[in-house]
Structure formats: structure tokens, C-alpha cells
């Protein structure tokens, strides 16, 4: 290729790939580098140019600060709670939907509705559903003669209430993923098991579950990452309370930076959070790959 | 007999699933057409009246549009979402063509850079991104809301897959006829990826319309608020929320998406299942 041809080649490449690459670097890579730098400084968002270098000071603060540790703990407990409930529920619904039952299409649509509804609307909806005196849930319990709950206002019930909300929201998504996994299982295998005298439970236990291992790990990864990033429930429903029991890390970062004007500390929390989320996803993806290779 | 039991159990399961998922929507939508006192009256005890406005009124909606500027928020959301869809489609389609149809040194590096951002939790980037976008002069503007997200790694990934599936014989034939890259991109490739483009457009629209954290961070003045911010504000813990109005706002924000979803369900489910790849 001559010089002019080379130039034209690279000009074409630049036109096709350049805009995307430029925006990606500008809005993803530059902020990551900026975040690493900012986590070493003490400053405020009102006057970001007046900053003092504190080296690892923000990270040391983070290590000693019980509120930050609680935020991480709450977020992990939340993610664990969501995964532990979404997986069995959505698996059961997927098995149900995979059978030859009437109204399958309607159920699939209805279960998926919360997935296309915004987190803000869902958090709003559930704030009112869970309202201790005028909420739908307590009034339904009262109508049935059952005891009422305190939900978001109680230290012990707030986080479980939000886990139930997340279960309600994410079930449809996980169900669709399981369902596509189930549809990939050849009918012959189930038929063969039936011929060998396996009942429906045994078919699920010995045929379906082993074949869905890959899908399951995949759903676990997605649900973990989704729940680790929860933000709207804290802001809309509880303000992180009562006593920090629903103070998720994403909300903690937001509050530290934009309300308490400590973006340096918020950046340090972000760095630690990013490393943890990346590590968890990488480990889970390795497991996924190992399972896939079987 | 066994058959009857089987059907009865099936119907019972169906009824439980449907009511758990539909009752909250029914309550919200029905209550948005009720007066304040009627919402509370119809809750005690729960009956059909809880989920049906016996004496419907549109006062809540009128009040939202007249006094709370929800119309403005809807228009802002529509602008942001449309621009984000157009920007994402343009950038991702161009880049997907470049990565699948042009051989150049460094294309692996480009793709690796894209793949690495898949795992970045954007929530952790909000602080530096806020300062960065502010420095670029986009704070408190609608452009600032969508501009950081149009280089979507998910979109590129999805379109790249679709472009790979188009037989290369098509481009070869066009090249022999003297067509350049732009001609091939526009007249050969794009017409063959209509379904993936539509899926990407829908999913991007959904994410953009429902986005909350980033608009909250970057927008300050009420006249720039998008619909999700308007709703979140009406529930804020600081003030006593007006139930009817909040429900009306939630209804307005949700119904368009649900209608869209009901008509285009196939694309939605496929597209959202694909976003799983991002995990």
C-alpha cells in the first residue's frame, strides 16, 4: 500500500471506529483514572481545585469507619438474600411455564412487567404497599385477620422488605433466562427418563437441574451484580435508615459525595466497591466457564 | 377425578402468581383515578373497590400537569431517550462495521477495551463522571444526561454479533461492483440487521427512560427534570406525599412502556435477556 492508500485506510478506520472509541475513553476510562487520583485527595465539589493530597488517608478512614463497613455489609447481605430467593422462585415458575399449561403466555407477560418498570416507580409503589397504616399489604393482612408488620420503619424488617421487593422485580428476568435454558434441553432426554420410570420430581432432580447448571451460574452472576448496585430503594424508600440498615454502597457513595461534600472519601469507597464487584464477577465467570467446559 | 384436581391446582397456582404480580399495578392505577379520601376508605377492608375506581376522577392527573410540570418532565425524558437511542445506534453500528468488516492493526486492542468496560459498575463512577461532565460544560443539561452512555459496550457487542452473521459474499459482490465501505455499510449491511437494530433501540429506550441515578446526579434545576426524578421527588421522605398524585405520576411514567412492551414483547425479552451478557 502506498502512503496515500495508507492514509485513506486509517481515515476510514477512524470514521467507523473513532467516534465510539473516543466516547468510550472519554466517558469510561478517563473517569476511572480520575477516580483513582481523586481518592488520594481531600476536597469538596463546590471548589474542586482547592485540594490537599492525603495519600492513602481516605482508605484508612474507610477501614476504620463503622458506617462505611456497615454499608458494605448491608449490601452483601442484600445481594445474598436476593440471589437466595430469586433463584428458587424463578426456577419454579420457569418449570411451571415450560409445562403444557393453559395461560402460559399471559403468566410470562405478567411476570415480566416489573422488569420493564423503572426502579423508581417500583420503589415508589412498594413504599405505599409497605406503608404500616395505609399500605395494601398490611390492609390485606388485616382483612384476613393476620398481624400487621412495620416493614421499612423497623430496624429488623427494612432490609428483608427490600429483598422481597427486589425478588418481585427480578423474578421475571430470571424466569426468562431459566426458560430459555429449559427450552434448550432435548425432549428425548426427559422422555427417556420417563420411560425408565422417573416421576416428575426425579426428572427435575436428575435431568433438568444438572443440565441447567450453566444457566444457573449465569443467573447468579447477573442477580449478584444487579443487587450490589442497588441505589433507588435507599433514596426513595428509606434514606438508608433506620440506623443505616438499608444504606447500600451506591447510596453511601452518593450521600458522601453530593450531600456531605466528601468526594475524596466517596472516590475511595468507589474504588474499593469497583474492585470488589469486578472480583466477584470475574470469579463467578470463571466458575461459569469451568461449568461450561464440562 | 385426577384430571380435575390437576386442573384445579394449575388454576390455583395461576391465580396466586397473577395476583402477586398484578395487584400492585391494579391498586396504583385504580387509586390514581380516586380522590385522596377514597384511596384510604377503599383499603379497609380490601375488596374489589380497592382495585377499581367506582367514581373515577382525573383531578390527580390534571394537577400533575398544571401545577407540577409533569408535562415538561415527560418531554425532557422523550428528548433524552430519543437522542440516546439515535446516538447509540449510530456509534455502535459504525464501530461494529469497523470491527467486523475492516482489517486494521489494533482492532483486537479496541475490542479488548470495550470488553473490559462490560464489568465496570457505573454506580461507582458517578463522582468522577459528574466532575468530568461538569468540566465539559454539560452539567444540568439534557445533553449531559445521555452523552456518557451512547458508546454502549452492550450495543456494540450485540451489533457485532449480528454483523458477523451476514455472509461476506454479499460485501465481496458489492466490492467487485465498485462499492466503498460507506456504500456497503449503508446499502448492504444495515438493511440486513433491522431486527437487531430495533431490539437495541428498544432496550436503549427502556434503560434511558427508566434511568435514575445519573439524571439525579447531573440535573439540578426543576425545568430540566426527567420523569423519574419528578416521581422520586413526589415521594421524598421530607414531605408528606400526596398519594393520589404520586400514583398518577407512576401511572404516567409506566403505562407507555407497558403498552410498548405488550406490542413488542418478543424484541424486549430477547434484548433484555441479552443484556445479561453485560453481567
DSSP B233-251: HHH-TTS---HHHHHHHHH
pLDDT band at A1 (very low <50, low <70, confident <90, very high): low
Residues B226 and B120 in one domain: yes
The pLDDT assigned to A294 comes to 44
Of the three residues B57, B75, B99, the one that is the final residue of a domain is B57
Rounded CA-CA distance B52/B27 in Å is 8
Which of B17, B153, B185 lies closest to A107 in CB terms? B17
Q: What is the mean pLDDT of residues A144-158?
A: 86
The ipTM, to two decimals, is 0.87
Tell me if chain A has a CB within 8 Å of the CB of B159.
Answer: no
The pLDDT assigned to B267 comes to 77
Using DSSP's 3-state secondary structure scheme, residue B177 falls into coil
Residues B140 and B25 in one domain: no
Least confident of A50-59, A150-159, A193-202: A193-202
Least confident of A25-39, A81-95, B109-123: B109-123
The most distant pair of C-alpha atoms in chain B lies apart, rounded to whole Å, by: 76
Domains of chain A and CATH, by start: 3-53 (no CATH), 66-293 (1.10.3720.10)
- Measured in angstroms, the CA of B26 and the nearest CA of chain A are apart by 11
Q: Scan residues 20-59 of B and list those with Cβ closer than 8 Å to A.
A: 20-25, 27-28, 39-40, 43-46, 50
Residues B118 and B182 in one domain: yes
Angle between helix A158-183 and helix B2-32 axes, rounded to 10 deg: 130
The pLDDT assigned to B274 comes to 65
pLDDT tens-digit series, residues B98-137: 999 888 888 888 888 888 887 777 778 899 999 999 999 9
Tell me if chain A has a CB within 8 Å of the CB of B261.
Answer: yes
**Are B243 and A232 within 8 A, CB to CB?**
no
Q: For residue A143, is pLDDT > 90?
A: no
Q: What is the mean pLDDT of residues A25-30?
A: 92
Q: For residue B88, is pLDDT > 50?
A: yes
Among chain A residues, CA nearest to B233: A236
pLDDT tens-digit series, residues A179-238: 888 887 777 777 787 777 777 777 777 778 877 887 888 888 888 888 998 999 998 888
Question: Which one is predicted more confidently, B45 or A126?
Answer: A126
Q: Scan residues 121-180 of A and list those with Cβ closer than 8 Å to B.
A: 121, 123-129, 134, 136, 139-140, 142-143, 168, 172-173, 176-177, 180
Q: What is the mean pLDDT of residues A91-105?
A: 81
The pLDDT assigned to A166 comes to 95
Residues B138 and B188 in one domain: yes
Tell me if chain A has a CB within 8 Å of the CB of B181.
Answer: yes
The pLDDT assigned to B129 comes to 93
Residues B76 and B20 in one domain: no
Tell me if chain B has a CB within 8 Å of the CB of A290.
Answer: no
Among chain B residues, CA nearest to A175: B273
Residues B30 and B118 in one domain: no
Rounded CA-CA distance B9/A89 in Å is 17
pLDDT tens-digit series, residues B167-187: 888 888 888 888 888 888 898
Tell me if chain A has a CB within 8 Å of the CB of B115.
Answer: no
Average pLDDT score over chain B: 86
Structure-block grid coordinates of residue A108: 410470562
The pLDDT assigned to A290 comes to 65
**Are A24 and B113 within 8 A, CB to CB?**
yes
Residues B152 and B90 in one domain: yes
Which of B39, B124, B228 lies closest to A273 in CB terms? B124
Of the three residues B57, B79, B101, the one that is the final residue of a domain is B57
Handedness of CA B219, B225, B231, B233 (dihedral sign): positive
Q: For residue A280, is pLDDT > 90?
A: no
Average pLDDT score over chain A: 86
- Measured in angstroms, the CA of A26 and the nearest CA of chain B are apart by 8
Among chain B residues, CA nearest to A220: B279
**Residue B97's domain is classified under what CATH number?**
1.10.3720.10
Domain span at B14: 2-57
- Measured in angstroms, the CA of B89 and the nearest CA of chain A are apart by 11
Tell me if chain B has a CB within 8 Å of the CB of A86.
Answer: no
Angle at A168 between CA B49 and CA B20, to 5 degrees: 30
Give the number of residues written for chain A. Answer: 294
Q: What is the mean pLDDT of residues A174-179?
A: 89
* pTM of structure: 0.88
- Measured in angstroms, the CA of A223 and the nearest CA of chain B are apart by 8
Rounded CA-CA distance B215/B238 in Å is 20
The pLDDT assigned to A236 comes to 87
The pLDDT assigned to B237 comes to 53
How many other CB atoms sit within 10 Å of the CB of residue B29? 18
- Measured in angstroms, the CA of B263 and the nearest CA of chain A are apart by 11
Q: For residue B226, is pLDDT > 50?
A: yes
The pLDDT assigned to A293 comes to 46
Q: What is the mean pLDDT of residues B74-85?
A: 95
**Are A20 and B95 within 8 A, CB to CB?**
yes
- Measured in angstroms, the CA of A188 and the nearest CA of chain B are apart by 24
Residues B216 and B139 in one domain: yes
Residues B51 and B75 in one domain: no
Beta bridge partners of A41: A53
Q: For residue B238, is pLDDT > 70?
A: no
**Are B121 and A176 within 8 A, CB to CB?**
no
The pLDDT assigned to B279 comes to 31
Among chain A residues, CA nearest to B133: A27
Q: For residue B276, is pLDDT > 80?
A: no
Q: What single-letter DSSP state applies at residue B102?
A: -
Which of B117, B121, B235 lies closest to A228 in CB terms? B121
Number of domains in chain B: 2
The pLDDT assigned to A76 comes to 94
Q: Which residues contact B69 (CB under 8 A, 6 or more apart)?
A: B222, B223, B225, B230
Which residues of chain B lie closer than 8 angstroms to A146, CB-CB?
none
Q: What is the mean pLDDT of residues A98-104?
A: 75
Residues B164 and B31 in one domain: no
Residues B24 and B101 in one domain: no
The pLDDT assigned to A177 comes to 87
Of the three residues B57, B72, B92, the one that is the final residue of a domain is B57
Residues B28 and B75 in one domain: no
Tell me if chain B has a CB within 8 Å of the CB of A44.
Answer: no
Amino acid at each position: 500500500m502506498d502512503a496515500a492508500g495508507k492514509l485513506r485506510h486509517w481515515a476510514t478506520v477512524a470514521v467507523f471506529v473513532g467516534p465510539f472509541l473516543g466516547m468510550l475513553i472519554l466517558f469510561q476510562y478517563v473517569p476511572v483514572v480520575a477516580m483513582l487520583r481523586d481518592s488520594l485527595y481531600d476536597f469538596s465539589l463546590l471548589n474542586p481545585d482547592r485540594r490537599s493530597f492525603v495519600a492513602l488517608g481516605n482508605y484508612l478512614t474507610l477501614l476504620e469507619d463503622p458506617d462505611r463497613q456497615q454499608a458494605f455489609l448491608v449490601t452483601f447481605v442484600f445481594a445474598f438474600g436476593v440471589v437466595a430467593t430469586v433463584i428458587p422462585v424463578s426456577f419454579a415458575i420457569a418449570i411451571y411455564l415450560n409445562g403444557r399449561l393453559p395461560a402460559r403466555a399471559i403468566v410470562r407477560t405478567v411476570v415480566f412487567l416489573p422488569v420493564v418498570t423503572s426502579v423508581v416507580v417500583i420503589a415508589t409503589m412498594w413504599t405505599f404497599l409497605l406503608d404500616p397504616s395505609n399500605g395494601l399489604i398490611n390492609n390485606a393482612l388485616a382483612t384476613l385477620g393476620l398481624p400487621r408488620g412495620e416493614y421499612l420503619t423497623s430496624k429488623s424488617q427494612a432490609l428483608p422488605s427490600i429483598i422481597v421487593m427486589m425478588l418481585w422485580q427480578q423474578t421475571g428476568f430470571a424466569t426468562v433466562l431459566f426458560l430459555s435454558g429449559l427450552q434448550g434441553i432435548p425432549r428425548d432426554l426427559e422422555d427417556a427418563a420417563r420411560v425408565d420410570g422417573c416421576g416428575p420430581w426425579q426428572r427435575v432432580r436428575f435431568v433438568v437441574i444438572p443440565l441447567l447448571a450453566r444457566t444457573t451460574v449465569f443467573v447468579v452472576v447477573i442477580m449478584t451484580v444487579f443487587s450490589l448496585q442497588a441505589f433507588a430503594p435507599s433514596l426513595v424508600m428509606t434514606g438508608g435508615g433506620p440506623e443505616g440498615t438499608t444504606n447500600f454502597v451506591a447510596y453511601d457513595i452518593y450521600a458522601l459525595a453530593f450531600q456531605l461534600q466528601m468526594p475524596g472519601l466517596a472516590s475511595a469507597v468507589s474504588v474499593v466497591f469497583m474492585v470488589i464487584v469486578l472480583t466477584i464477577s470475574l470469579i463467578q465467570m470463571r466458575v461459569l466457564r469451568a461449568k461450561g467446559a464440562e | 377425578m385426577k384430571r380435575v384436581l390437576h386442573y384445579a391446582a394449575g388454576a390455583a397456582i395461576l391465580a396466586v402468581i397473577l395476583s402477586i404480580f398484578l395487584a400492585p399495578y391494579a391498586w396504583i392505577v385504580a387509586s390514581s383515578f380516586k380522590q385522596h379520601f377514597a384511596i384510604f376508605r377503599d383499603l379497609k377492608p380490601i375488596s374489589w373497590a380497592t382495585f377499581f375506581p367506582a367514581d373515577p376522577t382525573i383531578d390527580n392527573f390534571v394537577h400533575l400537569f398544571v401545577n407540577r410540570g409533569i408535562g415538561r418532565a415527560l418531554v425532557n425524558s422523550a428528548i433524552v431517550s430519543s437522542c440516546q437511542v439515535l446516538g447509540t445506534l449510530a456509534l455502535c453500528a459504525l464501530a461494529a462495521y469497523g470491527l467486523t468488516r475492516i482489517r486494521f492493526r489494533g482492532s483486537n486492542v479496541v475490542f479488548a477495551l470495550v470488553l473490559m468496560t462490560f464489568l465496570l459498575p457505573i454506580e461507582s463512577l458517578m463522582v468522577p463522571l459528574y466532575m468530568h461532565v461538569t468540566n465539559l460544560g454539560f452539567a444540568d443539561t439534557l445533553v449531559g444526561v445521555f452523552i456518557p452512555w451512547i458508546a454502549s459496550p452492550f450495543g456494540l457487542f450485540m451489533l457485532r454479533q449480528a454483523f458477523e452473521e451476514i455472509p461476506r459474499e454479499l460485501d465481496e459482490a458489492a466490492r467487485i461492483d465498485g462499492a466503498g465501505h460507506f456504500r456497503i455499510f449503508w446499502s448492504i449491511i444495515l438493511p440486513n440487521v433491522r431486527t437487531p437494530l430495533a431490539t437495541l433501540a428498544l432496550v436503549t429506550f427502556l434503560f434511558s427512560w427508566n434511568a435514575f441515578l445519573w439524571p439525579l446526579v447531573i440535573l439540578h434545576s426543576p425545568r430540566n427534570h426527567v420523569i423519574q426524578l419528578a416521581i422520586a421527588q413526589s415521594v421524598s421522605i421530607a414531605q408528606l406525599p400526596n398519594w393520589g398524585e404520586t400514583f398518577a405520576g407512576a401511572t404516567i411514567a409506566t403505562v407507555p412502556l407497558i403498552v410498548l412492551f405488550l406490542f413488542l414483547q418478543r424484541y424486549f425479552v430477547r434484548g433484555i435477556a441479552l443484556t445479561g451478557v453485560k453481567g
